Structure 1
Amino acid sequence: RAEDQGQSLEVHQQIEAMRRRSYQQRTHFLILLRHFQIEEPPSTMPKVCRTATKDKKEKVGLDRRQLLLGDSIIRGVELESSGLVRCLPGATARRDKRRILNIVKQAKQQGEVDVLVHLGTNDLASNEVSEIKEDFCVLGGEIQQIASTVSFSDVLPVHNIQDRQMRNREFNLWLREWCREQGFGFVSHDSSNWSRKELYKKDGLHLTHMGTYWRLLRHGSVRKITGT
């Protein structure tokens, strides 16, 4: 009888562990998207942004939904309710622009859509930072023509590759300021503990479940970008 109870307890523990892992996978970006939904980008926008958005009309009877799209870093993320996740492994802002815009347009057919973009990892692997800035400017402007709000996530670090770390930091500093200027939302991830190898898979690029949970759930936040 004691042996049966021990086996039952072990099974229960295994089920509970599976439940916790499943919960973490579902909530990787969920808290980010909740902040994202509540905190709109600043209302004071450059003239070009105001012109692009001032004539938008709400579609009566259609839901407002969140769309998270990005490269393979967001693989496995699930959102509750009407939230959409579109993972495009290997995606870059330039090469996959048309594909990204089509996804946003399809989401818009169901109602107003708030878009959160997580790109840059693959761009920084092969292109100059100056070129990537131009690509993001073009992509952000065209998404803004379609979506109700636009937010961008900063690029997560690449473990143990010093040159990439420097490029990431340079680009993220620019991305934050650019989002402020354009009236876009900005997702910032905590910069501490970047050297912890257990947060990364063997390629030093993609996050483990622990890494994803740590980075995106515990340290991520969408916030309005002001002049400060």
Structure 2
Amino acid sequence: MAQGGHWQQVSSGSRQCSTPAPNPPAVVIGNRYALLDTGKKESPPTVKEEKPRTPKAGRSAATTANRKRRVVVVGDSLLRGTEAPICRPDISPQEVCCLPGARIRDVTEALSRIIQPSDYYPMLLIYVGTNDTARCDTEQIKSDYRALGVRVKGFGAQVVFSSILPVKGRGLGRDRCIMEVNAWLRRWCRQEGFGFLDHGMLLQEGLLGRDDVHLSRRGKTLFGHRLANLVRRALN
């Protein structure tokens, strides 16, 4: 992560709010653009049998109605370029908090600045883990996910974890690490009551950028629409 940077939190409304933070750089927000034609019809994203945790019982409808409603998608730099399909002005406030270079622990720490107790969060979607798999330490990754799970349980929101997207040309060790973590993440989400968005082998030829880790423009469009479709389906 870059030192001395900052991150910005951007919503779909007309006003932009930024909060200084010690580490992550700024969120990048883009204009909405149409899904590029890949030549194949993509099926909508699906959440496996693992159901998201619903808001805690005892919260009255009146109390919820008086609080600002915020849907937050948070994670690392793979979220850059997904803002357009997610943050649409014709729906309730939805935000993408992109923390370039972030690892699982960084997201856990950043949530204390992103989540406001005065607001109501019907859904929290998390994508993180790509940077952690570079070390191929699956036990440490699992431990960091567990700590993140403890943190998000107190928010009273539907929480969904996304599977880690595959990378290319980083060796068989990293490929096996990603597959192992995704298999464990699916089981763990079921046990903890979180939702799990499984992208499977989403990345086809042309969906990865030149570095074979981040997404190409077409890949960002597809990934962004899958996340946006999940959010809309979960809230309807």
In the superposition, the TM-score normalised over structure 2's length comes to 0.66
**TM-score w.r.t. length of structure 1:** 0.68
- The offset of 1:151, in angstroms, is 0.8
Aligned to 1:168: 178
Q: 1:84 aligns with which of 91, 95, 99?
A: 95
The runs of at least 4 aligned residues of structure 1 exceeding 4 Å deviation read 54-58, 218-223
- The superposition leaves residues 10-56 of structure 1 with CA deviations (integer Å, 9 ceiling, x where unpaired) of xxxxxxxxxx972349xxxxx76xx78xx96267xxxxxxxx94455
Q: 1: CA distance between counterparts of 2:148 and 2:226?
A: 28
Alignment-derived partner of residue 41 in structure 1: 52
Aligned mates of 2:227, 2:59 — CA distance in 1? 33
- Name the amino acid aligned to 2:220: T
How far off its partner does 1:172 sit? 0.2
Q: Give the match for residue 220 of structure 2.
A: 212
Q: CA deviation at 1:61?
A: 2.3
Conserved? CA contact 1:190–1:220, under 8 Å: no
Q: Contact 2:82–2:223 (CA<8 Å) still a contact in 1?
A: no
Q: Determine if the alignment matches structure 1 residue 177 to structure 2 residue 176.
A: no
How many residues are matched? 183
Greater share of helix:
1
C-alpha displacement at 1:163, in angstroms? 2.1
2:109 equivalent in structure 1: 98
Aligned twin of 1:201: 209
- Written as runs of structure 1 = structure 2, the 5 A alignment for 1:94-133 is 94-104=105-115, 106=116, 108-126=117-135, 128-133=137-142
Q: Is the 8 A contact 1:189 1:220 kept in 2?
A: no
> Equivalences for 1:120-159 in 2 at 5 Å?
120-126=129-135, 128-159=137-168
Give the distance between the partners of 1:146 and 1:91, measured in 2 at CA.
21
Q: How far, CA to CA, are the matches of 2:111 and 2:74 in structure 1?
A: 8
SS of the equivalent of 1:112 reads strand
Amino acid at match of 1:109: S
Instruction: Give the distance between the partners of 1:119 and 1:75, measured in 2 at CA.
Output: 12
Once superposed, what is the RMSD of the aligned Cα atoms? 3.2
Q: Which amino acid aligns with 1:177?
A: R
Return the alpha-carbon distance in structure 1 between the equivalents of residues 82 and 221 of structure 2. 11
Q: Residues 48-99 of structure 1: CA distance to partner in whole angstroms, max 9, x if unpaired? A: xxxx944555533234331100000001222123001100001111244221
The residue number in structure 2 matching 1:69 is 74
1:3 alignment counterpart: none
> Percent same amino acid at aligned positions?
31
